[in-house]
Amino acid sequence: MVYDTSQPSRIILDFLGVWHIYTKSILLSLVLAIAFPLTIVYFRWRQVIKNDYLLLSWLILIMGIIQFALFAEAGPRYTDANFEWGYNIALATVFLFSVVEFFLWRREVKISNCISNGLQVAKYLLFLHTISGIVYFLRILAGKSYF
């Protein structure tokens, strides 16, 4: 119904076209968005490869990134970024399971009474993500744009 012949809308291949509308540096934006989960993967890769939930959520995130990077809707919905939905949902799932892994890591460190620099980095990044999320949410509540 959305893509019938009377409408100018259709699905097109458009490498990073829509994504470029919303950021000047796609790579930097992507790294900043997944900084905390990447830290978990970097410092706890042995535990991550044993965690089916985290692995599956990372695979879905990769597919969401590919989908958002490749596809767009031509016509009036081009700037709506409707192919970003998979990326957004997968990012939330990766964060959920990364936070679970973070607290498991934290509990292990407390039990062993050792100092983990990686845990400190992850804690700092999680704090920054949380603060930026709160600021973003307050801006939306205030009726401002997310730009």
The answer to the question of residue 108 being in a domain is yes
The answer to the question of residue 62 being in a domain is yes
- Per cent of the chain over pLDDT 70 is 91
The residues, ordered by sequence, that sit 6+ positions from 24 with a Cβ below 8 Å of its Cβ are none
The answer to the question of residue 5 being in a domain is no
The answer to the question of residue 4 being in a domain is no
pTM of the predicted structure, to 2 decimals = 0.83
75, HSE (Cβ side, Cα atoms, 13 Å): 14
The answer to the question of residue 146 being in a domain is no
The count of structural domains within the chain is 1
Structural domain containing residue 69: 10-141
Report residue 37 as tokens. Answer: 């989960």
The answer to the question of residue 2 being in a domain is no
pLDDT in tens, 68-127: 999 988 888 888 888 999 999 999 999 999 999 999 998 888 777 666 788 999 999 999
Report residue 34 as tokens. Answer: 């997944």
Average pLDDT, rounded, for the chain: 89
The answer to the question of residue 32 being in a domain is yes
The answer to the question of residue 43 being in a domain is yes
